[in-house]
Amino acid sequence: MPTIITHAVTGLAAGKLSFFKDLPARFWMLSIICPMIPDFDVVLSRFGVPFKSFYAHRGFFHSLTFALIIALIVAFVFFKRQGYFTRRWNALVLYFFIITASHPLLDMFTDGGPGIALLSPFTDERFFWPWRPIMVSPIGIRSFFSEWGWNTMISEMRLIWLPLSVIIILAVLIHRIVQKKQRAYQSETPAADSRE
């Protein structure tokens, strides 16, 4: 898996790129937490859950089904003021589904560990992408603060953080250009109307 930090960064980047406006603090907190939730299965492994079983690491909690369940729970509990099944509420469900699903989809790019049970519970098959350039992260705090952990962070910064940063910078620049053109058009329109 990529590190838990990178999953959180991915959620924040998605929030920055989202089309939502007037976002409350809970949106940003949930944007950090939801992409990290699938790794809850690491805790279960400490309690003797068998390797590659349904609830083991990269099992059901890394599935698209689980991502949808999390998205629905988040929307029902934290965004009920939006009105259930309204356009904005549905967009929030889709958003939280995507950022939660980003976790297993990123894990599929790693070069180690078991495959991802992406389609659980419909199949037990485990998946990887054909291209797996991201160094798999060590599990556990002690292992994380090691040469392996450091090399993993460098790998993720190069392959995930840097591209995300470029995308965000480009999106912000494009947004500012569009806003500037809209303001210019709006300031010219009344003047044109007054001459008619």
The distance in angstroms from the start CA to the end CA of the chain is 64
Q: Which of helix, strand or coil describes residue 137?
A: coil
Q: Give the global pTM.
A: 0.85
CB 117 within 8 A of CB 126: yes
Examine the pLDDT at 195 and tell me if it is beyond 90: no
Instruction: State yes or no: cis peptide before 121, omega within 30 of 0.
Output: yes
pLDDT tens-place string over residues 125-179: 999 999 999 988 887 666 666 788 788 888 899 999 999 999 999 988 988 898 8
